[in-house]
Structures are given as C-alpha cells and as structure tokens.
Amino acid sequence: MKHLLFTALLLFSAATFASYHQVADSATYEPVIGDSIEETFRIAEKMPMYPGGKNALIEYLTYNMKYPEVARKQRIEGKVLCEFIVDKDGSITDVKVLRSGGHPSLDQEAVRVIKAMPKWLPGEQGGKKVRVRYTIPLNFHF
C-alpha cells in the first residue's frame, strides 16, 4: 500500500511539473465543435484541481483503484496514461486511454476510477471558468 502511494505521488508530481513547464504563450486551447464553439484549454491560467489538492487525489486513487484480478494472476504491471476533460462545473468528461498499461483490464480500471472521481475545482482563464484537458498516469505495480 505504501509503495502504491509513493508511486502514485511520484508519477502525479512529475506529470504536474511537466504540465506547468510546457512552452505556451499564456494558454493553449482547441475548439470543440458542437452547437457552439467552446474552448477546451490544455493549459489555463488557473489549472483545475482535485478537491483537497494533490495529496487528496493521491489518497483517492490509492483507496479506489482495484488491481484487476486477471492482471494480478498473470502478474501484469503497467502504467496507463489517461486524458480527461474537467468541465466548467468541475465534472469529469471524455475519459480516454492515451497509452495502454499492457492489458485491457488495467485500462478499464483506470477509466473506471477516473470516471468515479468527484467534481474538481474547475480551471479558470481570464477570471472565467473554462474546460481544461488533463492528463494523468496511473501506475499498476505490485
């Protein structure tokens, strides 16, 4: 359990550090086509945050991720890179696996635990709440 917590902390810290140090003017966005064009930022002036911060997110992941039995029996380990959108109201939408953990059950568990997260504090750009695309690695390790 301590090892999983440390691994999650290390991976989350590295991902957060990398996202804040990307080269960008003030923010980047991509339009999403629907009834109206809505901006989805990759980097916002104020990035979204899990309620309670980074440590609370790590605690949530530690206690809610379940190692899939089929992967455990086969001793499969891997890192699943997931992307999702934190919407203007803090809800989690559009969860995708960007890089598989090496077994479908690991990918499915990563998506499940992200979709089950409570609402986040939304990102802000120019004082307004905005949609922000967020990427997080989830490490499945014995």
Q: What is the mean pLDDT of residues 80-86?
A: 98
Q: What is the mean pLDDT of residues 29-55?
A: 79
Taking residue 121's Cβ as centre, other Cβ atoms within 10 Å add up to 16
Decide yes or no: CATH 3.30.2420.10 for domain 2-140: yes
- Top pLDDT among 28 and 24 is at 28
Nearest to 104 by CA among 135, 68, 138, 142: 68
Q: What is the mean pLDDT of residues 48-72?
A: 97
What are the boundaries of each domain within the chain?
Answer: 2-140
Task: Give CA–CA dist 45/67, Å, rounded.
Answer: 35
Task: Give CA–CA dist 4/106, Å, rounded.
Answer: 15
> What pLDDT is stored for residue 28 in this prediction?
52
